Structure 1
Amino acid sequence: MTEIAFHFNVPDKLAYGCRLLRKAYLSGASVVVTAEADVLAQLDQSLWSFSPTEFVPHCRSDAGEDNLAVTPVLLAESLQDCARHEVLVNLGQGIPAGFERFERFIEVVAQGDDERLAARSRWKHYTDRGYTMKRHDLATAKGGA
């Protein structure tokens, strides 16, 4: 069964996402990031510039078969054609269709009221289906990804 973790109270979702993806990449994991198109475009730009010495190889899901076969980090609005990836990161507001195919699933939740409300709905959806949830509250933790 998919291991689901919520990372709450993230002050800057894109910066946190970049650090999380760098950590996953350095550990050798293959990752899919899902969100709305505008969020993925911003993340794409952020990954190119967030750390001048530690590039995280990534591409969009429409990058072509050759790129998709070798990239460790895939940015995708839909999980329909995503294969071989172990970790799913959701930076969006919805429940990604097909999340249960991944070994690990990380929900990243910013500090805004709209984010919290959407996250509560997703949390309930997963727990109603029997998933065990892990909670990482950045407001009470030091540091982060």
Structure 2
Amino acid sequence: MTKVDFHILSANQFDDAALYVCRLAEKAWRSGHQVLIHCDEVWADTLNELLWSYRPESFVPHGLLADGEAPVNITSSVDCGTHHDVMINLSHQQPSSFSRFKRLIEVVFEEEALKVAKRAHYKFYQERGYPLQNHRV
């Protein structure tokens, strides 16, 4: 069963949340995991660019899933490629294929519409008995 973690950020802006997602993806990749970052379409290119530059001394092999598979991929579609290890969800939408992943990390920041969506996600997982943990960051 998919382990679901909610990372609740005190950040008010997407930019701060995006930096957090980059650090989280790098940490997971360095620990030997494949990572799929699911986000709203308007954020995909920004995350892709940010993973190249957020830490000049690091390298995270990544790209948009539409351009081909990499150890860290970014997508806004329901297609997950062959990924099944770690999904980081920064989207307002609940990914329909989340249950194929070993671990799902729902990232929440102080955008009202996002918080409303993530509350609905939490309730969905809770009602279906998924193991849930909250982390205030």
| Shared fold, TM over 0.5 | yes
Paired letter, 2:8: F
Q: How many angstroms apart in 2 are the aligned matches of 1:10 and 1:129? A: 28
**Which residue pairs with 2:49 in the alignment?**
45
**Separation in structure 2 between the aligned mates of residue 86 and residue 18 of structure 1, nearest angstrom:** 17
Deviation at 1:81, TM superposition (A): 4.3
- Conserved? CA contact 1:10–1:108, under 8 Å: no
Between the aligned partners of 2:82 and 2:111, the Cα distance in structure 1 is 32
Equivalent residue number for residue 143 of structure 1? none
- Whole-Å Cα distance in 2 between the matches of residues 17 and 59 of structure 1? 14
SS at match of 1:59: strand
Asked whether 1:28 is paired with 2:32, we answer: yes
Q: Which of these two proteins has the greater Rg computed from alpha carbons?
A: 1
C-alpha change, 1:25 and 1:97, in structure 2 (3 Å) is: same
Counterpart CA distance in 1 for 2:80 and 2:124 is 23
Give 1:128 deviation, angstroms: 1.2
- Which consecutive segments of 4 or more residues in structure 1 shift more than 4 A? none
| Inter-partner Cα distance in structure 1 for 2:91 and 2:81 | 17
CA distance in 2 between partners of 1:73 and 1:10 (Å): 25
| SS across alignment from 2:33 | coil
**Cα separation, 2, equivalents of 1:85 and 1:99:** 9
Contact residue 39 and residue 91 of structure 1 kept, 8 A: no
Q: Which runs of 5+ in 1 are unaligned?
A: 139-145
Q: Deviations over 1:71-109 (max 9, x none)?
A: 210111124342143000001111101100000000000
TM-score by length of 1: 0.86
TM-score, normalised via structure 2 length: 0.91
- Quick one: distance in 1 between partners of 2:86 and 2:108? 17
Partner of 2:98: 99
Q: Which runs of 5+ in 2 are unaligned?
A: none
- Code of the residue aligned with 1:74 in structure 2: it is N
1:81, 1:15 → 2: CA distance? 22
Alignment partners' CA distance in 2, 1:81 and 1:88: 9
Q: Which residue of 2 aligns with 1:108?
A: 107
Indicate how the Cα distance of structure 1 residues 23 and 10 shifts in structure 2: closer, same or farther if over 3 A, else same.
farther
Query: RMSD of aligned C-alpha atoms?
Result: 1.3
Please say if residues 9 and 17 of structure 2, whose CA atoms lie closer than 8 Å, have aligned partners that are also in contact: no
